[in-house]
Structure 1
Amino acid sequence: MSDVRSRQGGARVRLPPPLVFAAAIATGVFLPPRLGLPLAPRLLLGGIIVIAGFAVGISAVGLFRKTGQDLRPWMPSPELIFHGLYRFSRNPMYVSMVVIACGIGLACDRGAVMLLALAALVVVHFTAVLPEERYLQEQFGETYSQYKSRVRRYL
């Protein structure tokens, strides 16, 4: 694939990040260890964490839609987003996926979900985040370099 075609086609992300996190959750709910927490507190706290994760994700998705961006990471990015949650994290959607998965793990009393959520983040880091960063650096040059120097990758 030529450099021009690469720039026109977006980042070379081959694995949809939401599927990676969904697989982690689906696998983890059937695995030990149980956390052994009482039902009411874990449902309450887990629910709050899941809601917080969805709030972050919905806000990040809203900013993408507002600017006409495609949510699929392999599609071209017409512009960088510097406002909203993107002032604090370059990847708030992926942060939200980790938070949601951890909240589900807590609510379901499954530590494996939380561990697999972290493993999913490692997979997403190498299969999505790094290719996205290479693409954005190529596409936006110094503007993206300055953004990277100001804003953390995750938190």
Structure 2
Amino acid sequence: MSTEAESNDGAAVRFPPPFVPLIALALGIVIHLSVLPLRIPLEGMLRYGLAAVLLGLGVFLMVGAVGLFRRTGQDPKPWLGTPEIISTGVYRFTRNPMYVSMGLLQAGIGVAVAKRLWVVVFVPVVWLVIYLIAIRYEEAYLEEKFGSLYTDYKASVRRWF
């Protein structure tokens, strides 16, 4: 990835962010099965309804964000260069819809399939790790490349929700 980042004028992201929730999902299940089982205290339709909302929002945000990248001819990989700031669609509500989506999908899976509270508890940890390994580098890159255009966008749209 570093060669691509250097040659494509992108953010200094060195680890693919989608792997973070996958690792947290696996870790949550392992902790549940081997150390301390914490079950989600919801049953039946309430649990499945919550899972459906989380998964639905997660899919909506991801499809919306990736779709905007594709329509503008950009690649969503954070280590590749960004020719323009996307501020329409789901990017009107959150600066990081893909990362929000990853957390919502992780929580939805934890509620629906695994019924493991640890998977859900790790969502804020996932967002913190993604901030540390990706977002801070992406924002520094975007501020340097686009200046006030990006800082104005940043001031008007929240990072997460």
Verify same fold: TM over 0.5. yes
Identity %: 43
Match of 2:49 among 44, 49, 52: 44
Q: CA deviation at 1:57?
A: 0.7
Q: 1:7 to 1:127 in 2, by over 3 A?
A: same
Residue deviations 1:89-115 (CA, integer Å, cap 9, x gap): 111111111111111111122110011
In the comparison of the two structures, how many residue pairs are matched?
151
Give the secondary-structure state (helix, strand or coil) at the position aligned to 1:17: coil
Q: Which amino acid aligns with 2:11?
A: A
Q: What is the aligned partner in structure 1 of residue 76 from structure 2? A: 71
Residue deviations 1:18-39 (CA, integer Å, cap 9, x gap): 1001111122133221123224
Q: Distance in 2 between matches of 1:143 and 1:7?
A: 24
Q: Distance in 1 between matches of 2:51 and 2:153?
A: 33
8 Å contact from structure 1 (residues 47, 104) kept in 2: no
The equivalences for 1:111-126 within 5 A come to 111-126=117-132
Q: What is the aligned partner in structure 1 of residue 142 from structure 2? A: 136
Q: What is the aligned partner in structure 2 of residue 149 from structure 1? A: 155
Q: What is the aligned partner in structure 2 of residue 29 from structure 1? A: 29
Q: What is the aligned partner in structure 2 of residue 12 from structure 1? A: 12
Runs of 4+ in structure 1 over 6 Å off: none
Residue deviations 1:49-83 (CA, integer Å, cap 9, x gap): 21221111101110011111111100000100111
Q: What TM-score does the superposition give when structure 1 sets the normalisation length?
A: 0.90
Gapped regions of structure 2 (runs ≥ 5)? none
Q: Which amino acid aligns with 1:113?
A: V
Q: Distance in 1 between matches of 2:159 and 2:42?
A: 32
Matched, 1:82 2:59: no
Give the secondary-structure state (helix, strand or coil) at the position aligned to 1:121: helix
Q: Distance in 2 between matches of 1:63 and 1:150?
A: 19
Q: Which amino acid aligns with 2:149?
A: T
Give the secondary-structure state (helix, strand or coil) at the position aligned to 2:18: helix
Q: What TM-score does the superposition give when structure 2 sets the normalisation length?
A: 0.87
